[in-house]
Amino acid sequence: MSVHCNIFNHQGENYEIVSEINSSVFMESNGGINQKILGMYVHNLKANRVVQQHNKLIILKEIEDAIIAD
């Protein structure tokens, strides 16, 4: 059995990488990112953070701290 999970550390917080997508997918004619469409995409993936690196958008979901119950 193999478990594969990509972890991304951003500003001291750990995130699961949900998706990586070329930023041109969300590009408007003026060269900017269509924030509304990107937001709907992120919401659909149940993610909560986007980081842009080079020409890619990395869609992330925050990894919550575990609570250990006695």
- CA angle (32 as vertex; 20, 34 as ends), nearest 5: 65
Reply yes or no on whether the pLDDT at 1 is more than 60: no
The total of structural domains in the chain comes to 1
CB 48 within 8 A of CB 61: yes
Whether residue 70 is contained in a domain is answered as: no
> What's the pTM?
0.80
For residue 65 the two structure tokens come to 């701290």
* pLDDT at residue 9 in the model: 87
Which of these, 48, 31, 30, lies nearest to 39 by C-alpha position?
A: 48
Whether residue 69 is contained in a domain is answered as: no
Whether residue 1 is contained in a domain is answered as: no
pLDDT band at 69 (very low <50, low <70, confident <90, very high): low
Whether residue 56 is contained in a domain is answered as: yes
User: Residue 56 belongs to what domain range?
Assistant: 7-62
Q: Which residue has the tokens 């701290």?
A: 65
Whether residue 24 is contained in a domain is answered as: yes
Query: pLDDT tens digits, residue range 12-68?
Result: 888 999 999 999 999 999 999 999 999 999 999 999 999 999 999 999 999 887 666
* pLDDT at residue 40 in the model: 97
Whether residue 67 is contained in a domain is answered as: no
